[in-house]
């Protein structure tokens, strides 16, 4: 059934071009047309700004209930398997409690305008199924990278689980590359490819991990993983110039999670260098434990760090940052045929922002206003897969 949202300023297409006085025409959960030539009936948005739903390219929705529990602890004690605060928290939950908690997390994301997310899911195939169940009837897309339940030290079992994950989820999410030999990484990549599944990995997150890689294997984490053509790198917080150049040359997408890197004391990621080198970038809010699933905050933080690191206020355009938070994420997760931009044929997931809110008024540079000033309070409406959501993320 057709539905029309009219009289909006739409940031349309992969270029996020401004279309004023535009109407977005929906058929069910899809966009069929965006036009400035519409005078029929429809829902009048009264000049509001319409942007694509965000793609949060790296999350751990499983730790949604562990908010604030590990702030002040280093990364290993906070989130690493098997004895961190996070893993002890996860072990304390029944599957039903975990499912409910992840569902609440997904609702939080929807209310924040997130249309799709890429999640590193603990608990192997079972953990992946719990997340699928948690979001089954919610209008949000979960791209799941599952982590086996055993460490790579138990290799035959690990490999067996990884192959099962390749079958059941979009890909495998690895926490620590130092535990793998080069041969194991090659075998792992082959096993995933056999199921058309992706290999995603936390990389160069901590300085210690980079040092351990050099000491044990004689190469940085980044150089080691690039040998097996990974599909997605997360963090690069402590990557050096050679790592960044090699990643750019390989064209491997990187998810930047600067707010989480900083609160964990892992460093300010080399965002300007990554951007300048031409690495395909996207943004992730990472652990719910420390960081709200709020892509407005992630964009703002990212943009300010790039300008600060470069000593150049024009080092990046706000439009490019918004693109990372939308289409960049969709490309990184391999879902850009459906998500990441507003164009005919794609899923109708978008955010209606009120340009008359005191915070935004007046809007002189629409991209900068969204990236550097807008927040959740400026959201008038979220439409997810064609459904209007209340601010709490529930279907109307």
Can you give the binding site for Zn ion, defined by CB under 5 A?
A: 286
Which pair of structure tokens corresponds to residue 69?
A: 């529990």
Distances (CA, A) of 173 to 89, 109, 121, 125, 165: 20, 21, 8, 12, 10
Q: In 3D, which of 100, 43, 68, 40 has the Cα closest to residue 289?
A: 68
The nearer residue to Zn ion, 26 or 255, going by C-beta atoms, is 255
Chain length of the chain? 396
Judge contact between 221 and 194, C-beta under 8 A. no
The nearer residue to Zn ion, 75 or 247, going by C-beta atoms, is 75
Nearest-approach distance from CB 286 to Zn ion, in angstroms: 5
The nearer residue to Zn ion, 108 or 286, going by C-beta atoms, is 286
The nearer residue to Zn ion, 10 or 233, going by C-beta atoms, is 233
CA 24, CA 4: separation in Å to the nearest integer?
Answer: 6
Q: In 3D, which of 288, 214, 225 has the Cα closest to residue 253?
A: 225
Nearest-approach distance from CB 382 to Zn ion, in angstroms: 25
The nearer residue to Zn ion, 161 or 286, going by C-beta atoms, is 286
| The 3-state secondary structure of 77-91, one letter per residue | HHHCCCCCHHHHHHH
Nearest-approach distance from CB 255 to Zn ion, in angstroms: 9
Q: Are strands 114-121 and 49-52 parallel, antiparallel or unpaired?
A: unpaired
Nearest-approach distance from CB 59 to Zn ion, in angstroms: 8
The nearer residue to Zn ion, 157 or 208, going by C-beta atoms, is 208
The nearer residue to Zn ion, 301 or 350, going by C-beta atoms, is 301
Residues forming beta bridges with residue 350, ordered by sequence position = 52, 383
Q: Are strands 43-44 and 281-283 parallel, antiparallel or unpaired?
A: unpaired
The nearer residue to Zn ion, 176 or 286, going by C-beta atoms, is 286
Q: Which string of b and e fits 174-204 if b means at least 16 CB within 10 Å?
A: bbbbbebeeeebebbbebbeebebbbbbbbb
Residues forming beta bridges with residue 239, ordered by sequence position = none
Residue 370: strand, helix, or coil: helix
Residues forming beta bridges with residue 35, ordered by sequence position = 23
Nearest-approach distance from CB 318 to Zn ion, in angstroms: 26
Q: In 3D, which of 98, 169, 168, 110 has the Cα closest to residue 138?
A: 110
| Torsion 320-325-326-332 (CA) sign | positive
Label residue 388 exposed, middle or buried (CB < 10 Å: 0-12, 13-18, 19+). Answer: middle
Nearest-approach distance from CB 258 to Zn ion, in angstroms: 13
The nearer residue to Zn ion, 9 or 261, going by C-beta atoms, is 261
Which pair of structure tokens corresponds to residue 108?
A: 């939080």
Nearest-approach distance from CB 234 to Zn ion, in angstroms: 6
Nearest-approach distance from CB 247 to Zn ion, in angstroms: 18
Nearest-approach distance from CB 120 to Zn ion, in angstroms: 5
Nearest-approach distance from CB 325 to Zn ion, in angstroms: 17
Residue 35: strand, helix, or coil: strand
The nearer residue to Zn ion, 42 or 123, going by C-beta atoms, is 123
Q: Which residue is nearest to Zn ion (CB)?
A: 286
Q: Which string of b and e fits 297-320 if b means at least 16 CB within 10 Å?
A: bbbbbbbebbbebbeeeebbebbb
């Amino acid at each position: 059934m057709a539905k029309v949202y009219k009289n909006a300023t739409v940031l349309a297409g992969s270029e996020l071009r401004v279309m004023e006085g535009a109407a977005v025409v929906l058929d069910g959960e899809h966009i069929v047309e965006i036009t400035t030539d519409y005078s029929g009936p429809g829902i009048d948005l009264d000049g509001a700004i319409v942007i694509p739903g965000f793609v949060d390219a790296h999350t751990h929705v499983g730790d949604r209930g562990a908010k604030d529990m590990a702030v002040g602890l280093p990364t290993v004690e906070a989130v690493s398997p098997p004895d961190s605060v996070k893993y002890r928290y996860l072990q304390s939950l029944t599957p039903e409690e975990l499912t409910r908690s992840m569902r609440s997390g997904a609702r939080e994301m929807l209310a924040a305008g997130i249309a799709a997310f890429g999640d590193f899911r603990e608990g192997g195939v079972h953990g992946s199924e719990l997340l699928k169940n948690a979001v089954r009837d919610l209008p949000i897309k979960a791209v799941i990278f599952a982590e086996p339940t055993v460490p790579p030290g138990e290799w035959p079992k690990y490999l067996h689980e990884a192959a099962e994950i390749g079958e059941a989820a979009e890909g495998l999410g690895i926490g620590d590359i130092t535990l793998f030999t080069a041969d194991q990484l090659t075998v792992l990549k082959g096993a995933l490819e056999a199921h058309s599944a992706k290999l995603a990995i936390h990389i160069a997150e901590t300085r210690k991990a980079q040092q351990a890689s050099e000491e044990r294997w004689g190469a940085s984490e980044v150089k080691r993983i690039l040998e097996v053509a990974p599909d997605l790198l997360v963090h690069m917080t402590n990557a050096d110039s050679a790592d960044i150049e090699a990643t750019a040359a390989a064209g491997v997408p990187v998810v930047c999670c600067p707010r989480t890197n900083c609160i964990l004391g892992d460093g300010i990621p080399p965002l300007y260098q990554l951007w300048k080198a031409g690495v395909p970038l996207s943004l992730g809010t990472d652990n719910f434990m420390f960081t709200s699933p709020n892509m407005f905050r992630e964009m703002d933080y990212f943009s300010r760090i790039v300008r600060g690191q470069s000593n150049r206020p024009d080092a990046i355009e706000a439009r490019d940052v918004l693109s990372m938070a939308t289409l960049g994420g969709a490309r990184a997760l391999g879902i850009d045929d459906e998500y990441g931009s507003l164009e005919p044929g794609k899923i109708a997931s978008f955010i209606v922002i009120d340009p008359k809110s005191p915070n935004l008024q007046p809007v002189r540079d629409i991209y900068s206003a969204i990236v550097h000033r807008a927040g959740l309070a400026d959201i008038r409406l979220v439409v997810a897969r064609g459904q209007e959501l209340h601010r709490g993320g529930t279907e109307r």
